[in-house]
Structure 1
């Protein structure tokens, strides 16, 4: 059983790495990116490329942070050392992990939040008993770009420790916050241009655009905002493209008071099997759960929209 669990974790991690790399390589050219039509006819919806050209934020360069202890508990000490830039992974937070216990441990993140946006993170580090490790928590360049973040002002992290052999969680820790030299100037605007699909119980979902040339096939980019008072998980079901049922990949975790920009991934195999060459009409339902209690908060009726 443990062997199967380890295998599933390894496969999931490898797939997630490819998803992150693919997210950064997807096209947002005008000829492959289609806006979601606004039924009100006010003409305010813009393609991602048009929005990017008109409102591209000014980059302030790599910000700095003060060296600081983020966690010192249960024999584990984590210190933030600084920020660095990588040509492939983008900006990263350099940390020192000290394992002062008598057990081999793994350290991971349950959530990584930049400027109030949930950011994809695959950080994991194994540290032997009594040893230390210099590591980097990479802030997904594609996630930052999708959220319109050019100036990183605040990083929030929820660390957890786990058994490095069984992968079972040992402890979860309260949020730690790192403020950078750009805190006063950080990007805080909502990247909510597009068509509002859901506005219920403090939760908003906006359809931003459809990219017909994403890495895996096509993608529907969504903006999610959570002011419900609860941490939530959002998924979709009963999805059809141009009248054909498909099985997309989509799951989003959004903590209370936070935002996220996530993609509903439509696999090229689904498009090919149904002879879909252009995404014109979309129907789907959203399900929202309390991610702490797993209680259902609500499920929408069928939501329909078209592209233009």
Structure 2
């Protein structure tokens, strides 16, 4: 198991580097607004915001927290000790993880939510029996920026712990931290763009198409879930300029929460079909219950343009 957990840590580190350097909605390259076919303008919200706009600041670094116990269960104790800011990794919560049990455990996070936005979790800690470890749960600066979050007021975490056989000691243990800036956090939805889907308590807005993202082309979405259940969303039957694609996209949005996420189209798919400009996109959304995987809805074909 040690090799597997070390591998997990390596994967998480590489993923963190990718998100830090490139993140949701790369700052470089050509971005287009998503519009209704032939309209030339967005159907809702006016001009789509550029998630890479340099006018949007990172979290202010004015935040602080009081020391507080987040989890104290089954011999595992997790204490939030400090709000920290790193010039490379961005803002984070410093955690003291104590394993007072008789068994080694890996502690991780099922979900991380900042100011009601789902944020990618890059936290994993291996703690041997009877030991403790100081860790930092970083809040992806690029994802905070994409969501328009410049002041972190609330951080919600769902923790899990599992052993060397991948058996869970516990999972989805909820904790919430309110920072010193809780009263000042901006809760305005970053939902400017073209509404693509709005049914079954799920709203999806297309914001921008970035033709020069890290992996190829990224279609930036705003997602809001008021369905009463945690939902997962995938993309099916996607085509660009009439050519079928194999998109990389899978996201989970908890009930009452929001997300900013990318549909990624690999450069190799575009090159194989001679596509140099994303003009027309067609896709379907597959929406399902994140716990049972039962289908909530499969949307009709949705067509939009990038200009």
Same-fold call, TM cutoff 0.5? yes
Are 1:112 and 1:158, in contact at CA under 8 Å, matched by a contact in 2?
yes
Q: Using the alignment, how far apart are the partners of 2:273 and 2:63 within structure 1?
A: 48
Matched ranges for 1:27-66 at <5 A: 27-28=26-27, 32-38=30-36, 44-49=45-50, 52=53, 56=56, 60-66=60-66
> For residues 167 and 160 of structure 2, what CA distance do their matches in structure 1 show?
11
CA shift at 1:270, angstroms?
0.7
SS in 2 for 1:215: coil
Contact preservation (8 Å) 2:24, 2:262 = no
Deviation for aligned residue 1:88: 1.6
Deviation at 1:23, TM superposition (A): 3.4
TM-score, structure 2 length as denominator?
A: 0.91
Map 1:214-225 → 2, pairs under 5 A: 214-225=213-224
Q: Which residue of 2 aligns with 1:147?
A: 147
Asked if structure 2 preserves the Cα contact closer than 8 Å seen for 1:155 and 1:178, the reply is yes
What is the match of residue 99 of structure 1?
99
Q: 1:140 to 1:246 in 2, by over 3 A?
A: same
Contact 2:51–2:145 (Cα < 8 Å) also in 1: no
- Look up the match of 2:118: 118
2:59, 2:91 within 8 Å by CA — same for their partners in 1? no
CA deviations on 1:12-43 (whole Å, 9 max, x unpaired) are 646644542453386335x6010011466665
Q: C-alpha distance in 1, partners of 2:106/2:172?
A: 14
Residues 281 and 22 (structure 1 numbering): CA distance in 2 closer, same or farther, change over 3 Å?
farther
Say which SS state the counterpart of residue 166 (structure 2) adopts: coil
Distance 1:119 1:10 in 2: 18
- Deviation at 1:173? 3.9
Deviations 1:117-161 (A, max 9, x none): 000012100000000000000101111011000000000000000
The runs of 5 or more residues in structure 2 that have no matched partner are none
- Partners of 1:117 and 1:223 in 2: how far apart? 10
CA drift of 1:189 comes to 1.1
Is the deviation greater in 14-23 or in 131-140?
14-23
Q: Is the 8 A contact 1:37 1:45 kept in 2?
A: no
Q: Does structure 1 residue 72 correspond to structure 2 residue 72?
A: yes
Please name the residue that 1:170 is paired with: 169
Aligned pairs, number: 304
1:175 aligns to what SS in structure 2?
strand
- Answer whether contact 1:249 1:266 (CA < 8 A) is retained: yes
Q: Deviations over 1:96-124 (max 9, x none)?
A: 00100000001000000000000001210
CA drift at 1:61: 3.2
Distance 1:121 1:10 in 2: 12
More contact order relative to length (CA 8 Å, sep ≥ 6): 2
Q: Does 1:134 align with 2:134?
A: yes
d(CA) in 2 for partners of 1:289, 1:25: 23
- Indicate how the Cα distance of structure 1 residues 25 and 238 shifts in structure 2: closer, same or farther if over 3 A, else same: closer
User: How far off is 1:248 after superposition?
Assistant: 1.1
Give 1:274 deviation, angstroms. Answer: 1.0
Q: CA 1:194–1:51 in structure 2 vs 1: closer, same or farther (change >3 Å)?
A: farther
Distance 2:167 2:203 in 1: 34
SS at match of 2:278: coil
Q: Secondary structure at the match of 2:143?
A: helix
For the Cα contact (< 8 Å) 1:76–1:99, is it kept in 2?
yes
